[in-house]
Structure formats: structure tokens, C-alpha cells
Amino acid sequence: MSKTSFHAILLATVSLLSGAAQAQQASDPVIALDELSVSGDGKAVSRGYQPVRSSIAMGSETPILKIPQAVAVVTEQALQDQGVRTLDEALYNVSGITQTNTLGGTQDAFIRRGFGDNRDGSILRDGLRTALPRSFMPTTQRVEVLKGPASALYGILDPGGLINIVTKTPRFVQAGYIETFGTSFNGGGVEADLTGPIAGTNLAYRFIAQHRNAEYWRNFGTQNQQVVAPSVTWQGDATRVTLAYEWSHYKLPFDRGTIFDLRNGKPVNVPRDRRFDERYNITAGENHVASLNVEHRFDATWKANFNYAFSHNFYQDNQARVVSYNPATNALVRRADATQDSNFSVHSGRLDFTGKETFLGVEHDLLVGASYDHSDVLRTRLIRGPNSTSFNIFNPIYGRLPQSFAVSAVDSDQRERIETASVYAQDSISLTEQLIVVGGLRYQDFSQMAGKGRPFNTNTDVSGGRVVPRVGLVYLLTPSLSAYASYSQTFRPNSSIASFIGALPPEEGEAYEVGLKAELFDGITATAALYDITKANVLYTEVINAISYSRTAGKVNSRGFELDVAGQIAPDWSVIATYAYTDAVVTEDPTLKGNELLNVAPHTASVFLTHDFGPVGDGRLRAGLGGRYVGSRPGSAANTFRMPDYAVADAFIAYDTQVADRPATVQLNLRNLTNETTYTSSIGTNLGVALGEPFQAIVSARLFW
């Protein structure tokens, strides 16, 4: 879809829907999308910054205090105030999460409690897996994080936890906005979000669209994204059906970052905006997500929920890859590589039955369900060009390494297919008004195939089944204070597109967690947690005669403390505050025993404070200031260098007023106020260390429909 066509469709649709909205004003009030988020049953899940309920941990909406596991929620109001545009920015508000290898900025990739990688299946959308490389879209309503193992409900996962994107759905009240914004990176865009009932029917619609374009902050490159997302909901007496579709197109820099000199363990002394690749370092792709949700209530206590999504990502990457660095001559060896005609598709579905029953005077909250997932990755053409030594980091001359079109037969047709089918059950038993016991069990059947090459060579072909348990205990010390403990397991089949030595048993994890949760001052939710996680059969790569082999060996352990606080501390003051201590090390391995885990920061912290100044002139003024700290982290599994710690401050100011008798907001967001240089993650070697963005100002104007 061309840019001109996109603008035409966006403007025509907004005009049509806004006209329909005006026609309904006599009978339907026009309201702003407010700070109170509700679930499908009308119960509040958040108030301002405060999370109140979540479904991600128990399979149904449950008060945070009654969940025997740490849960953090970044609410819609927090996302709006902070002007969040990426999942990285949203997760600044959650303890213990740091960035890991993003594959040159092309993927979401996060460490959670010491574990995580790109494409590890830990980022869900409405509880389902997707093929999206970067999951945060204008369709996002809030972000939920379930800490620790979650395989009992969600199957194949790392033991660090999962991240769930909750998307916006149609509403049966007229609401919405249109927004324009600009950034100091010489760019901007427009966004629209309109929803409401369709007169004379049991239907409600929602239409969301966005166009963004800006120059990249380093010495060349642009960032471009378009999104179109219509959805419709039908509401019957006992049944609700929602159909949604989302199309997005993106074109972004493929940027591996900078280089560290292993002689002194420091970054090379060049301007931070200097790139070591070429102008063709670009990732471009198109995403499609189609989803169906059917919720049926049988009676006052039992309901069924069916959720299905198909997602597809088509992408092409080009890069001038840094192969080696000679610190004596300051010369780089680079190679023109590419991944062409790549497709990633995912079918994901689950059917849950939830209800309440009383047996022998004891109340049970029950969940039984089944799920199915099928993912298929095919990277058709892998380009591998010749090496070039003509680039000096202190005197860069671009254009000497042309884009290559040489297809590598041994590397092409990379394929990985995973299919899983599961049944699961969970019982939350209220033994007394204070004591809740939770037990869950999942049986997971899986098959996995991976390989590459022309002719095709299958390197992984495994199948099997696994039972995964979960137990938890919650004790309500008071109506606003609870203590909890839990034990849970995870498993994740290992696969390798590369050659391997012997069979690859699945990674296995188990975790113990204890904690306290509190609701304070009628507006604050706080969670403090201690955890200990062990992961065995960790996949690593061994080089024999210049050939890479994959095998499993050893164990790693992560233990730590986390604190998350969010909500309203006074009538005009709101806060989000986090702290995490993470001790993640290799405990058994032939060569890495005792090493810290890659990209894991022992200490992280953040705080964001917002004040409502009340009426000012013809409107209302709000402002916020915050900061985040990320400690020093190892940049390689061998711990050969460390990325330095950093602290970054952000701020916003927003003015709520009226324009043509409609609510409107003008907002200024300031990122990295002191223009700090930050190193956010490593690819696992000193040849690719990602840089955080410098100071940026974003101005937006939002008119509510």
C-alpha cells in the first residue's frame, strides 16, 4: 500500500466515522477515552496508574491481592502520560526487565528475572502467541507482565515470565480521538481511534489508524510505520463476539550499534551517532493479525471464552555485518548479508471454561481449557557476500561495500516449525475467608522440526509430551494486605537450525516465590517478591574445526528481589516506582560456570511521579517527572566486557482543555533530559552493542471525539 493510498484511506474513514458520530450525538453522549479501564464484564481493571485486577495469571479477572504470583500492569493512563511508542518504553515501568539482543532493533527482546531472548515466545497478544516482531501498536490498551514460570497456563516458555499486550476493543459508547504529533528527530505522524455503537443494531465498531515517519537519530536512516486496525463487536443477551483485523507496514534501520574494545572493555571513542554499516541496512516488512473472540455466559457463575488469532509477518533484512575489529589499525572486516523473502506465521487458539462452585461449604474458582499453537518460520534466501576490510571507524567512507545478492545454498531455506496441543485445569480454593490455595496442571504435547540448506538438512526433529504443575498459596492478612507463596515449573523444547551434537533435551525450569501485596491509601497497589529460579539443559554453541554445533549442558540460577508500586498517593499525585535485584549466574557448565548471564543487570530501578495542578486558565494542567536506572551488565556469555550503568530522566506536561466544545489535550514529552549516552543491550559479542536514544522532544495534540 502506497503512502498516498494510506493517507486517502485514513482521511476518508475518519471523515465517515466522525460524521456518523456527530449524527448520533443527540442520543449518545460523546466522551473521552478515560483513565478507568474495564474488562468485558464491566469490572475495573485499573484506576489511573493503579492496577486492580488482571486475568493473565489466573485465566479470569482476579484481584491482584488474590494472585499467588507477582503481576505488574502498565495502565492505559500511564501509557498516555508517558507518550509510549514502543514496548521497551512501556516496560520501563516494570521491575527487573532489561533489553537483550534485539537483532539490530528489528525485534522486541527482554530479560525477565534473568531469562529471555528475542523470538522466545514470551510476548503474547490478548493471551495468544503472534508472529509480530515488535508488538506495541496504537491498538494497545495496557501491558501486563506475569513474573516467573507460566507454563501451566501458557505452555512453552522461559521461566522468567511473560508479557501480555491487551488490545483495545469496540465500546458501546461513542468515544475516540484524532491526534497529530511531531518529534525533534525531524518527524511526526497522525493517529486516530474512534469507537461507538452502530445505530439500530447490537454492534459496536472500533477503527484505529496511525502513520509515523521520522529521521533516525544516528547519521543516516529513517523510521516509518503505518497501521490500520478495524474491529467490530456483537453483543447478545449472553454472548459477545469480537472480530478484529490489524495491518501494519514498517521500514526501519537495521542497526547493530557500536563496538567495544576488549583491550580496555570500553566503547570505541567515536561519536555515538556514527554507524559502522551502510545505508542499505534496513528491515522492511508487513504484518497481518486477524482474531476472533467469543465469550458466552451460561449463568451467573459459569462462562466460556474462545480466543483465536492468525498472524503473519513477511520481512526482508539487509545489513553490512561487522565480522571483526582490529584495534591496532581501527579497521573493520565487514560482510554484506541479507535475509530475503522471509515468512513467519502463527495460528494460536484456546478455549477456556471458568466458573465458581461450592463443594462441602468450600468455594472453588475453576478453570478448564485446551489450547493449540502452530508456528512456522521460513527464511528463503540467505545472502552471504565476501568480506571487506575497507572501513576505518575513525575515518569512515561509506559505499565501498555494495549490497550483495549471492545466495548461500547451505544457509538458505531455514525452517522451524513448532506445533503444540494442550489441556489444562486449575482450581483456586477459598478454604477460609483469608486462605486461598491454587493448584494447576497442564499436559502439553509438542512436535518440533528445524533445519536448513539446499538440499534441506533436518537438524531437529523431536516430539513428546510433558506434564507441568503449579501450586500457590495466598493468605489475606487484612482486606488490603496479602502474603503469598508459589512453586511452578516450565519447559521449552530446544531446537537448532545449525548442526548439533546428539539429542537436544528440552530446557527445564522450576521456581519458588514468596511475597507480599498491599493496597494502600485507597489508591496504591504494591508487590514485593523474593524468587529463586533454576533452569537446566541450557542451549549453547560450541565451535569445532570452524563449524558451529549446538548442544545442551549445565544449569543457570537466578534469584532476586523485586518491588513494584503504582497508583495514587494523594488526591493530586500519582506514582510508579520499581526496584529489582537480580543475581543470575551459570552454576554448571564446562566453560562458563560462575559467569553472570548475558545482558542481565544486577540492579534496576525506576520512578515516575505525576501531579495534577488542577484548573489553570480554561483547562487543567498535569505534569510528570521520572527517571530510570540500569546497572552494569555483561556483554558476552564469557563476561569479556561489561556495558556501563546509566540513569535517564524523562518528563511530560499536558494541558487538558476544550476546542470547539470538545475535550482536547496538548502534551509535551521530553525523553533523556540530560542527553545521556546509554548502552542498552549486546548481541553477545563486542561487535554489536545497542545504543539508547539521545534527548528527544515529542509534541502532540489530541482532539477527543
Mind listing the pLDDT tens digit for each residue in 332-348? 999 999 999 999 999 99
Strands (E), 254-361: 260-261, 266-267, 282-297, 303-326, 331-359
Residue 561 CB neighbour total at 10 angstroms: 16
User: Which cell numbers hold the place of 429?
Assistant: 480454593
User: Which cell numbers hold the place of 257?
Assistant: 550499534
Residues 6+ apart with CB under 8 A from 244: 167, 169, 229, 230, 231, 232, 289, 290, 291, 293
State how beta strands 481-492 and 457-478 pair.
antiparallel
Q: What is the pLDDT of residue 538?
A: 77
Strands (E), 184-302: 187-197, 203-215, 222-235, 239-253, 260-261, 266-267, 282-297
SS3 76: helix
User: What domains lie within the chain, and their CATH numbers?
Assistant: 3-281+290-339+348-704 (2.40.170.20)
Query: 487 — phi, psi (to 5°)?
Result: -135, 135
Q: What is the 3-state secondary structure (H, E, C) of 423-447?
A: EEEEEEEECCCCEEEEEEEEEEEEE
Residue-by-residue DSSP string for 459-515: EEEEEEEEEEEEEEEEEEEETTEEEEEEEEEEEE----SSEESS--PPEEEEEEEEE
Q: What is the pLDDT of residue 543?
A: 44
Angle (nearest 5°) at CA 189 between 188 and 192: 150
Q: What is the pLDDT of residue 46?
A: 76
User: Which cell numbers hold the place of 12?
Assistant: 476518508
Q: What is the pLDDT of residue 252?
A: 98
Q: What global pTM score does this model have? A: 0.92
Q: What is the pLDDT of residue 505?
A: 78
Query: 78 — phi, psi (to 5°)?
Result: -65, -40
Query: 497 — phi, psi (to 5°)?
Result: -75, -30
User: What is the rounded distance in angstroms from the CA atom of residue 680 to the CA atom of residue 89?
Assistant: 12
Using 70 as the pLDDT threshold, list the residues of the chain that sit under it.
1-44, 496, 498-503, 540-553
Q: What is the 3-state secondary structure (H, E, C) of 552-574?
A: EEEEEEEEEEEEEEEEEEECCEE
Q: What is the pLDDT of residue 1?
A: 44
Query: 590 — phi, psi (to 5°)?
Result: -60, -35
Q: What is the pLDDT of residue 550?
A: 62
Is residue 599 a contact partner of residue 681, using CB atoms and an 8 Å limit? Answer: yes
